[in-house]
Amino acid sequence: MCPIPVGIKRVAESTIHRLSHYWRVLIALEKEGYKTVSSRELAQREKLTPAQVRKDLSFFGSFGTRGLGYPVTQLKEQVSAILGTNQTWRVALVGVGNMGSALVGYKEFSRQGFNIIKLFDNDQRKIGSFHKGLIISDVRNLEVEIKQAGIEIAIIAVPSAVAQQVMDEIAKGGVKAILNFASVKLKVPGDVCIRNEHMSMELEHLSFALVNKITGKQCE
């Protein structure tokens, strides 16, 4: 909702989101052999305006060369450092059900440095068993085991009814970043950052679009 303080200035939520896009484009450009790239080219690939690209980047520093553009590899690394994707993160996943299992197997997470290293569930039949090489721990030990493993990010993939409860334990465990797949609004301590992945809401947006005959670009 409100902008995010970084240092003194404030970044727009949307800027961070676009940064993720830039990062992906830069990786692609590097593969394609580009040495430098202009804000125009970068913008075209993401259907944005060149001005937007320059504003976004200039917020974090002066990465380009006038008359030339941005050095691809270098910018890629700088964006990566800003996003924190130049390091690996220790991730715990709570709820090894339908969705949870899929997320454990989701290659892209680990490929980008998000390593799921702990699994939790409340089902006695699952606890103690292995899932894709990881043992499933009892959710009742969340707080302790999260601390021991030095978990930095937690993914909540439990039924909505117990999500808040799980959330509270995770917070007690000192985790400051949470990705929530349960479709409820969770109460979080002031120093915890939570992102919601509300899949049903995206479908509702689509049905809204269909009912109201929204077209194409206007819908994203």
Q: Which residues bind DNA (CB under 7 A)?
A: 1-3, 10, 12-15, 37-40, 48-52, 54-55, 57-58, 62-70
Interaction between residue 205 and its own copies (CB under 8 A): yes
Chosen from DNA, its own copies, none, partner binding at 208 (C-beta under 5 to 8 Å by type): its own copies
The residues in 56-85 that bind its own copies, with binding defined as CB under 8 A, are 81-85
CB of 67 to its own copies, least distance (A): 29
The residues in 132-191 that bind its own copies, with binding defined as CB under 8 A, are 152-153, 176-179, 183, 185, 188-191
Instruction: Fill in the per-residue mask, 110 to 129: x = in contact with its own copies (CB under 8 A), - = not in contact.
Output: --xxx---------------
CB of 156 to its own copies, least distance (A): 12
Strand order in the sheet with 89-94: 130-131, 134-138, 114-121, 89-94, 153-156, 177-180, 193-196
Chosen from DNA, its own copies, none, partner binding at 162 (C-beta under 5 to 8 Å by type): none
CA–CA separation, 58 and 22 (whole Å): 13
CA–CA separation, 124 and 158 (whole Å): 15
Which of residues 58 and 115 has its CB atom nearest to DNA in the complex? 58
Residue with tokens 């924190």: 84
Q: Among residues 140, 141, 136, 134, which one has the least CA distance to residue 117?
A: 134
Interaction between residue 98 and its own copies (CB under 8 A): yes
CA–CA separation, 54 and 169 (whole Å): 42
CA–CA separation, 98 and 101 (whole Å): 6
Which of residues 73 and 101 has its CB atom nearest to its own copies in the complex? 101
CA–CA separation, 15 and 56 (whole Å): 6
